[in-house]
Structure 1
């Protein structure tokens, strides 16, 4: 299990003039994995049964700043994870979702006993050609405006709930972490480092299972790194197998100069080869950084636009750990790690149901007082928002009782 690294730079899109308020909103051109699903294809054509709608589902709704896709799905549906059927999405749309923007009006179409959601009355998804939705004349003045269109779309989940977990946790194997570049020295012998400090690091190793790779500023080499202190093993609650190691994030650094060697003269007058570590500057310090902390290249930015949906295959799993919490039980809007990942078919947006393990107790109404186990009961919902090979991070969306390590997760239906 090896993380994929790279650099990401945000790009703003310059908009010279607003030409039409009714122009169709295009989805991001993202890679689509070919997985033909007959059921999903049928749902994309027929919509959803009327009895699947929420009791007070509105006929129309205007998207507002602060909305999330999950909240809007819950406004229209009893089961919000059935959003792709209501929105008439095929498999490509699910991975390449139609973006929804503040100011758009959503209309509930109940034609022929089936419900679909559109952005125009009686028209197509983009609302073009709808005779019932006349387009108002808008006067605009020529001006230059810079705006990121990707950031303007409403997110699937509240950004403040998952933002830290998109950048902080990292699942690595033990060997990758043990051979990662490490901080080896500080200026003036400082024990703790904070933002703005300078330090020195090495990627090469003299011994062990491998030599490592020297830190370099050559073209194509990573310059931005995250700093991690330790790697906690994540164990399967049932088998106790180690599924990966969760590295503890403490900050970010920038590589200023790469590693090198220099010739010098020793005290005995003989030439010697000095090892010169790389120079790094501390850019972000969530905690105080120190010698021995490990560096891993900044990974590419995670895709944040995805569609809430149930997995289209049977799957079960368990809660492995609670991220960033020392409490035994957690509630809504907290993050858990489960023992299923991309190797098991899980993807961002998959909604899973949480089950509370039924209690084991004695049946005191029976003279022999046998041991009985109560049925497992549904305890809430969670949504996967980040996957690794064997584990995934999920946000607890709804919960009746606290979630514990070992609790089971299953398909929501």
Structure 2
């Protein structure tokens, strides 16, 4: 729904802070159903407590500003980090502003957040400290009409651009699922490579090996498929256990006709059964495809709802891989895979602390040259944004030094 601004009278009295709260309420109502971001009972309870008592000044960031104007491109993580020592403690930030911001997922550019540190407690509000609700400030505005999509203007919890491609491209599958996945078996005119707009043929049912399910157009069957190749095993750095297979995304295909069989009579009058592969059309091509690439059904589209929070249970594990071809180290805003998933209680939005590995050094100041074990140090923070059974993907949000396979993580 477009937002329309009307022309006021020459000295039309506006109460900017009150109007901001009222407009925010309208924006929330209009956008809440579209985004449908979850707020857990625990988060709401925490916010309610903080809204009443405020936050201890010791919990504020050392350089917390007295006010901040929300800008396009901001994230909830970044705004939380301005005011709090621990950015993942967003319920406190929300609770400090519970009166004006009833849904932390709906903060918009142009809002001014004020930090009130009176009475030894900190509170955040869209009202300047000491401002009265009936302040008769007169504001002159120029007449203009502005249209804006409300669905795209809300401030996200983290930078979705950093993980947008990750929501559709890599997929973790078990070995059996990948072996049973339908595969491209032939092309038109014996082409070696396929691109967008090409037609190819695929099979899902085999007589040998891991027999899969035939590609069909029956009720409840998917016609949309992602095309993958080179399922790389993700192994636990310590135990060597294969946690899953990371399939390389190369494009998408649409099933036009299912596979079947037909009876034919040969020259000797003998009736034989012929296999007719399924017909697929390549609709998206990130890379050129070829015979042998696998097909997996297009999963339901998910609405990102990543809310940074600390895990409720004790978590600890290691980095399994750094995503990207020939990438050995991860920096800020890069993606890593970790050896913990839903079976371990890991959820989307969990913030984890990266640890620099401890190592041995020689004390050269001692004539005996003893070996000293230096303790591991915190190296940064990452946030889980996609989970599987035993593996999860996380985005590196803060980093001191680079991250590599085998590095450990703990609760923040």
State the TM-score bracket (shorter-chain normalisation).
Answer: 0.7 to 0.9
Instruction: Report the count of equivalent residues.
Output: 386
SS of structure 1 residue aligned to 2:252: strand
Compare 221-230 and 255-264 and name the one that shifted more.
255-264
Going from structure 1 to structure 2, the CA distance change for 1:308 and 1:133 (only over 3 Å counts) comes to: farther
SS at match of 1:80: coil
Cα 1:38–1:65 shift into 2, 3 Å: closer
Aligned to 2:12: none
- Residues 227 and 253 of structure 1 are in contact (CA less than 8 Å); yes or no, is this contact kept in structure 2? yes
TM-score (normalizing by structure 1): 0.82
Tell me what 2:184 maps to: 183
Mean alpha-carbon deviation: is it higher for 14-23 or for 272-281?
14-23
- Aligned CA distance change for structure 1 residues 242 and 37 (closer, same or farther; 3 Å): farther
Partner of 1:386: 386
- Give the Cα separation in 2 of the matches to 1:289 and 1:43: 55
2:79 corresponds in structure 1 to: 72
Contact persistence 2:46–2:92 (CA under 8 A): no
Deviation per CA, 1:76-106: give whole Å up to 9, x if none.
Answer: 22321222212129xxxxxx85322223333
> 2:63 matched to which residue of 1?
56
CA distance change for structure 1 residues 40 and 346 in 2, over 3 Å: closer, same or farther? farther
Preserved CA contact (<8 Å) 2:158 2:306: no
Alignment of 1:278-293 (within 5 A): 278-293=278-293
- Unmatched runs of 5 consecutive residues or more in structure 2: 7-21, 97-102
- Partner in structure 1 of residue 265 of structure 2: 265
Whole-angstrom distance in 1 between the partners of 2:314 and 2:262: 60
TM-score, normalization: structure 2? Answer: 0.82
SS at match of 2:95: coil
Equivalent-residue separation in structure 1 for 2:405 and 2:138 (angstroms): 54
Matches of 1:367 and 1:284, distance apart in 2: 66
Structure 2 equivalent of residue 198 of structure 1? 199
1:112–1:103 distance in 2 versus 1, CA, 3 Å: same
Q: Distance in 2 between matches of 1:146 and 1:333?
A: 29
**Per-residue deviation, 1:45:** 5.0
For 1:11, the equivalent position in structure 2 comes to none
- 1-structure distance, mates of 2:290, 2:257: 19
Larger RCO (alpha carbons 8 Å, 6+ apart): 1
| Mean Cα deviation higher: 43-52 or 401-410 | 43-52
Distance in 1 separating the partners of 2:56 and 2:195 = 57
**Hey, what's the Cα distance between the residues in 2 that align with 1:146 and 1:264?**
63
Q: 1-side partners of 2:293 and 2:369: how far apart?
A: 56
Cα shift at 1:375: 0.8
Alpha-carbon distance in structure 2 between the residues aligned to 1:392 and 1:33: 21
Query: Do residues 21 (structure 1) and 23 (structure 2) align?
Result: yes
Equivalence map 1:129-278=2 (5 Å)? 130-131=133-134, 147=149, 149-209=150-210, 211-278=211-278
Structure 2 contact 46–95 (Cα < 8 Å) conserved: no
- Secondary structure at the counterpart of residue 107 of structure 1: strand
Bigger CA drift: 344-353 or 169-178?
344-353
Task: Compare 149-158 and 160-169 and name the one that shifted more.
Answer: 149-158
Q: Does the 8 A contact of 1:66 with 1:154 survive in 2?
A: yes
Larger C-alpha radius of gyration, 1 or 2? 2
